[in-house]
Amino acid sequence: MEVVSTKCSAINWLPVSEGTRRWVARLALVVLAVSAPVGSATLGLVVLLLSVPFLYSEAKLAGGMRSSRAFGILTGPVVALIAAGLLSTVFSTDKLHALGHVVGMALMALTCLLSARIAVRERHFFLNIAIPLALVATVISAALGLYQHFALGVSRATALLGYTNRLGTLLAFFGVLGVGFLLYRGGRVGWLLFPFGLLVLGGIGATMSRAGWVAVAVGIILLGLRADRRFIAACLVLAMLFAVGLLLEERWAPRFSTIFSLEENQDRITLWKAALGIFRDHPLLGSGPGSFLYVSDNYIDAPRHRSHATPHNIVLSIASDMGALGLLAFGWLMTGVAKAAWYLWRLRHPFYTGLVAAVASIFVNDLFAQGFYTTQIGTVMWFGLGLLAAFYEMEKDLAVAPTVDAS
């Protein structure tokens, strides 16, 4: 995975050396890699935000991609999504609350897109240092979740995240990405594939997060479509071991059986109906970003046992929060993501396959459990989208002008 060597005419407006910029960028990537899998993505995001001047300067001066936009090909749809959020905020009943959600989304999205381009620029460091550290952190989260579930008797493991569904989401994302990475590296680290997969799968099981189970299943299926027979055989063994776990762990089987039960999912269906009702009454701009928590009460007859900040579906969340304008911007964003993902998918590179499958898994998860506005999930989601876009640009440039900089 090399990039095109091109000349850049940008001016170094930040009065620091190239070496300093690069090491600040690398430090920020390491902090994000270590913090995100254990649920401390807020720390990673803060470090990235503090590093933005260095990251932006590095992105503008980088010779790695011909695009002059430091935020990449997703800049347009992301700006459109932010604009839709701001317009919706103007007509929201709680403007300060809505504005906070828009600003948070904007900071996450733009910072992560910028950081992802730097990760591709520093791809050797990213693949050799940052990704392995992220996988170590993933193993720690999974092991802690298993310890809580089996040793401490915790019904639904949370590890350090404090929320079961978010742990399931992150383990699914980094687990699938890690499998793709290990397939890519092969050789002396290839043997880690099976124990890594077994540990992460067990950790997801310990969360008893149905959305996490479905998400990792989708990711593994996508990986299997591009992997060799040995990987498929390993997946079948892992699936059988998980089936054995369902039989032996008395808490798993009843939970698993409710995945497709309408009766057991009435609470979530009620939230979806409320979101549709809000969208019906506020079709153009929605009721305001982050407003579902207090607006949905007007659309739910039965009293809820606990409050819900979102409808547990990313599409319905955007529809109820930002209306048709938000949906159009989100559709534009997904079109760009799908274009990049399909291009990388066809290259049949194991790491790209893992990245595409990981991003697919987190979006499948967000159809049933919402992490769009949270820093724990949102940071990972936006960074994953940024990686797809940045690697797509890199490969497109390489295909157009195959002059390779091997440094």
Residue whose pair of structure tokens reads 């699914």 in the numeric block:
172
pLDDT tens per residue across span 77-116: 999 999 999 999 999 989 999 999 999 999 899 888 888 9
Q: What is the mean pLDDT of the chain?
A: 83
Distance between CA atoms of residues 295 and 297, nearest Å? 5
**Joined tokens for residue 71:** 């935020």
User: Would you say residue 220 lies in a domain?
Assistant: yes
**Joined tokens for residue 126:** 């990213």
pLDDT of residue 246: 67
DSSP states along 40-82 = -HHHHHHHHHHTHHHHHHHHHH-SS-S---TT-TTHHHHHHHH
pLDDT of residue 241: 75
How many domains does one find in the chain? 1
282 contacts: CB under 8 Å, gap ≥ 6: 320, 323
User: Would you say residue 5 lies in a domain?
Assistant: no
Average pLDDT (383-391) is 94
User: Would you say residue 63 lies in a domain?
Assistant: no
User: Would you say residue 217 lies in a domain?
Assistant: yes
Count of CB atoms situated within 10 Å of the CB of 297: 12
The answer to whether 36 and 137 have CB atoms below 8 angstroms apart is yes
pLDDT of residue 403: 44
In the predicted model, is pLDDT for residue 232 greater than 90?
Answer: no
User: Would you say residue 91 lies in a domain?
Assistant: yes
**Joined tokens for residue 244:** 């054995």
- Residue range of the domain that includes 299: 84-107+133-400
Which among 228, 203, 204 is positioned nearest to 218, based on CA atoms?
204
| Phi/psi of residue 250, nearest 5 degrees | -65, -20
pLDDT of residue 7: 40
Amino acid in the structure at residue 43:
L
**Planar angle of CA 313, 319, 320, nearest 5 degrees:** 90
Encode 338-370 in three state secondary structure. HHHHHHHHHCCCHHHHHHHHHHHHHHHHCCCCC
pLDDT of residue 68: 45
User: Would you say residue 391 lies in a domain?
Assistant: yes
pLDDT band, residue 407 (cuts 50/70/90): very low
Distance between CA atoms of residues 229 and 111, nearest Å? 39
Average pLDDT (194-215) is 89
User: Would you say residue 291 lies in a domain?
Assistant: yes
Output the furthest CA–CA distance in the chain (Å, rounded): 64
Distance between CA atoms of residues 99 and 89, nearest Å? 6
Distance between CA atoms of residues 279 and 319, nearest Å? 6
Of 163-177, 239-253, 259-273, 387-401, which gets the smallest average pLDDT?
Answer: 239-253
User: Would you say residue 118 lies in a domain?
Assistant: no
**Joined tokens for residue 45:** 């995001």
